[in-house]
A and B are shown apart, each in its own frame.
Chain A
C-alpha cells in the first residue's frame, strides 16, 4: 500500500531524505504541467518546478498540515510562475486582465500541438483556476484561500474558466474539422 503524502512528509522531517524523492516522483508531473501551462515554456517550467521542490523542502518544517502538501506545493508553484512572468514581462498580470483572452499569434498547428497551443492561450486567471481545480483537485475553499478571495468569487471564476475552456476546445475541434 502506497504511503500518503503526510506519512512521507513526516519521514522527511524525521531525516529520511529519500522519502522526498518519492514525493517528487508523485507530484512532479502535475507540478511541471502546471508550470508549463501557466508560463508556456517547458524548459523554464522544469527549472521552476525544481526550484519549487527545493523551496518546499527547505520550508517543509513550516507546513502545518502535512496532508495538504499537494495544495501547498501548488501555492509555491503558482507564486513562482507569477514571479517568473512578472520578471520577464511576458503576460499582463493585473486582476482586470486575468480573464481577458491573450491575443492569438500565428494560427496554431493542427492535432495535439494545436490543442495544447489553444489551451495555453487561455486567459491566465482561467489557467490558474483550471490547474488548481482539475490538476490539483483543490476545493473552492482552498482556491479562495490561496487567491485571497471569497468562495462566491471562486464559483464565478470557475464558470468563466469553464466557458473559456469550452470556447478554446470548440475552436480547436472546428479547426480540425476544417
Chain B
C-alpha cells in the first residue's frame, strides 16, 4: 500500500479518470505504481469495468429489436436533400431584404441622431461664446473699461479664458486643419476698443458671434448663430443677427426731412487694413474703387523696408461708400475705420440764399450802370457792379464745392503688410486631416453599430423570420 487514503475524493477521481483513459501520464504512473501494491483499488477498477458492461447490456437490451429506418426514410422523402444549396437568387433576395431594412432604419434614425449631435455642438459653441464674452469683460475691467480691439481680441482675451480650445467652434465644418486665420468667431468691429459705458443697453449689443471666413455671421447651428452680448450673456439667434447684416451701411440720406429740398451730407472715410500681400492688395483696392464708379486720386506703395505700406486715396459716389468700404475690408483685416459724415445742408441753404441775393445785387448794379442819370457817380456804380459779380461768383463756387463734396465721398485706405497673429493651436499638415477623417468615419460606424444594436429587436426577428421561411420553403 502506498498510504493513499481510499476515501479521498481526489484520489478516487483520478482512479476513475484512469479507468476511462482520461488521466495524464504522470497520474497514470502514480496509479500504476499504486495498483501494483493495492488490492482494494484493483478490485474497484475491476468492479467498475464489470458495472460498465452490465450497464451497457441492460440499457441496450431494453430497446432490442428497434428499427427506425423505414419510419425515418418515409419522413425524409418530402425533405430537400441537406446538401442542396440555396438558389443564388434566393440568397441574394435575403441579403437584399436585410440590407434594405437596415438602410431604411438608418435613414429614419440617423437624422435624429445627427440632430441631437448638432444640438450638443450648439451647446458647446454657446459655452465657448460665453467664456469668450466673460474673458472680454474681464479684460475690460483690467483696461479702464475698454473692450478688446476688434482685430487683436483673441490675443487680448486669451489670458482670461481657460484654454485655446474655446476659440474652436465644434460646428465649424472646416475642421481643425483650416487656415489659422479663419477663426470661427468674430468680434463686432463696431464695438471693439470702445468703453463699456459708451453703450446704453449692453444687453442688446452683440460683441462676439459665429462667423464664416469672410467675417460675416454664419448660421451654422441649426440655422442660427450663437452671439455673445455685452452684458455677458450668450444667446442663439435664428437667422442673421440684427445689426450685423451687410457690414458697413453708411449711405447718403434719401429722404427730405423738411429742412431743405435735398439733404447735403459729405462723407469722408479712412480705413487701415492689414493685408498679407501688399502688392496684390493695393491693386485690388484700386479695382474695388473703379468697380464702384469711383476714381483713384492717389496710390502709393512703399515696399523697400518692412513694414510694407500702401495708400489709396479715392473718390467714390456717396451712395457707394458702404460697398467700397466693405470690399476694401475683404482684402485683409480691418485695424481701424473711421467714416465721418458732414451735414452741409444748412451751408447749402445759406449759400443758395446768398447766391440769390448776390444775383439781385448784381442786377441792380447792372441797371444802375445802364442809367447813368440815376447815380451820383458812374465810377461808384461800376464798383458796386464788380463787387456784386464777385460776391455771386464766390457764392456760386461755394455751392459747387458743396455739391461736389456731397456727390463724391473721399476714402483714404492705408494698407500694411502683416501676417495674422492668431493664438489658436493648429494641427498642421495632411495627417491631422486624415486623422480627423478617420475619427469621423469611426464615429459614424460606431453610431451605426449602436443604432443597429439598439434596434436589433426590430431587424433581428425579421431576419430570423425570413430565415425560417426560407427553410420551410426548402423543406
Is B56 in contact with A134, judged by CB distance below 8 angstroms?
Answer: yes
How many angstroms between the C-alpha atoms of A12 and B80 in the bound complex? 11
* B163 contacts the other chain (CB 8 A): no
* A25 contacts the other chain (CB 8 A): yes
Is B59 in contact with A33, judged by CB distance below 8 angstroms?
Answer: yes
Q: Which of A41-94 contact B (CB under 8 A)?
A: 42, 45-46, 49-50, 53-54, 57-61
How many angstroms between the C-alpha atoms of A32 and B60 in the bound complex? 9
Is A45 in contact with B63, judged by CB distance below 8 angstroms?
Answer: yes
Is B62 in contact with A37, judged by CB distance below 8 angstroms?
Answer: yes
Q: Which of A144-168 contact B (CB under 8 A)?
A: 151, 155-156, 158-159, 162, 165-166
* B104 contacts the other chain (CB 8 A): no
| Distance in Å: Cβ of B218 to nearest Cβ of chain A | 58
A46 touching B66 in the complex, CB below 8 Å, given contacts A54-B72, A59-B82, A131-B59: yes
| Distance in Å: Cβ of A156 to nearest Cβ of chain B | 6
How many angstroms between the C-alpha atoms of A28 and B63 in the bound complex? 10
Is B47 in contact with A166, judged by CB distance below 8 angstroms?
Answer: yes
Is B67 in contact with A28, judged by CB distance below 8 angstroms?
Answer: yes
How many angstroms between the C-alpha atoms of A80 and B38 in the bound complex? 44
Contact count band on A: 35 or more
Q: How many residues of B contact A (CB 8 A)?
A: 36
| Distance in Å: Cβ of A120 to nearest Cβ of chain B | 9
B173-189 Cβ-contact flags toward A at 8 Å (1 or 0): 00000000000000000
Is B75 in contact with A54, judged by CB distance below 8 angstroms?
Answer: yes
Is A112 in contact with B61, judged by CB distance below 8 angstroms?
Answer: yes
A123-135 Cβ-contact flags toward B at 8 Å (1 or 0): 0000000110111
Is B20 in contact with A158, judged by CB distance below 8 angstroms?
Answer: yes
Which of A58, A133, A135 has the most CB atoms of chain B within a 10 A radius of its CB?
A: A58
How many angstroms between the C-alpha atoms of A115 and B63 in the bound complex? 14
Q: Which of B401-428 contact A (CB under 8 A)?
A: none
> Chain B's interface: helix, strand, loop or mixed, by majority?
helix
How many angstroms between the C-alpha atoms of A161 and B421 in the bound complex? 84
Is A159 in contact with B9, judged by CB distance below 8 angstroms?
Answer: yes
Spot the interface stretch: B11-19, B433-441, B456-464.
Answer: B11-19
List B contacts of A135 (CB < 8 A): 56, 59-60
List B contacts of A112 (CB < 8 A): 58, 61
How many angstroms between the C-alpha atoms of A24 and B16 in the bound complex? 32
Is A53 in contact with B17, judged by CB distance below 8 angstroms?
Answer: no
* B73 contacts the other chain (CB 8 A): yes
| Distance in Å: Cβ of A38 to nearest Cβ of chain B | 10
List B contacts of A116 (CB < 8 A): 58-59, 61-62
List B contacts of A53 (CB < 8 A): 68, 72
* B52 contacts the other chain (CB 8 A): yes
A119 touching B82 in the complex, CB below 8 Å, given contacts A25-B69, A54-B75, A158-B17: no
Is B16 in contact with A158, judged by CB distance below 8 angstroms?
Answer: yes
**What number of residue pairs across chains A and B have CB atoms under 8 A from each other?**
124
Q: Which of A13, A33, A155, A159 contacts B63 (CB 8 A)?
A: A33
Residue of A nearest to B17 (CB): A155
A139 touching B59 in the complex, CB below 8 Å, given contacts A15-B83, A58-B79: no
Is A24 in contact with B72, judged by CB distance below 8 angstroms?
Answer: yes
List B contacts of A57 (CB < 8 A): 72, 76, 79, 82
Is B17 in contact with A24, judged by CB distance below 8 angstroms?
Answer: no
List A contacts of B56 (CB < 8 A): 134-135
* B155 contacts the other chain (CB 8 A): no
Is A46 in contact with B62, judged by CB distance below 8 angstroms?
Answer: no
* B51 contacts the other chain (CB 8 A): yes
List A contacts of B454 (CB < 8 A): none
A165 touching B9 in the complex, CB below 8 Å, given contacts A17-B76, A28-B69: no
| Distance in Å: Cβ of A168 to nearest Cβ of chain B | 9
Is A155 in contact with B13, judged by CB distance below 8 angstroms?
Answer: yes
* B347 contacts the other chain (CB 8 A): no
* B108 contacts the other chain (CB 8 A): no
Residue of B nearest to A49 (CB): B68
Is A58 in contact with B475, judged by CB distance below 8 angstroms?
Answer: yes
Is A130 in contact with B55, judged by CB distance below 8 angstroms?
Answer: yes
Q: Which of B22, B48, B58, B83 contacts A61 (CB 8 A)?
A: B83
A33 touching B62 in the complex, CB below 8 Å, given contacts A14-B83, A15-B83, A155-B22: yes
- What residues make up the interface of B, taking CB atoms closer than 8 Å to A? 9, 12-13, 16-17, 20, 22, 47-48, 51-52, 54-56, 58-63, 66-69, 71-73, 75-76, 79, 81-84, 471, 475
- What residues make up the interface of A, taking CB atoms closer than 8 Å to B? 12-15, 17, 20-21, 24-25, 28-30, 32-33, 36-37, 42, 45-46, 49-50, 53-54, 57-61, 112, 115-116, 119, 130-131, 133-135, 139-140, 151, 155-156, 158-159, 162, 165-166, 169
Given A54-B75, A112-B61, 18 more A-B residue pairs with CB atoms under 8 Å apart are A12-B81, A12-B82, A17-B76, A21-B69, A24-B73, A25-B69, A28-B68, A29-B60, A33-B60, A33-B62, A53-B68, A60-B82, A116-B59, A119-B59, A135-B59, A140-B22, A166-B47, A166-B51
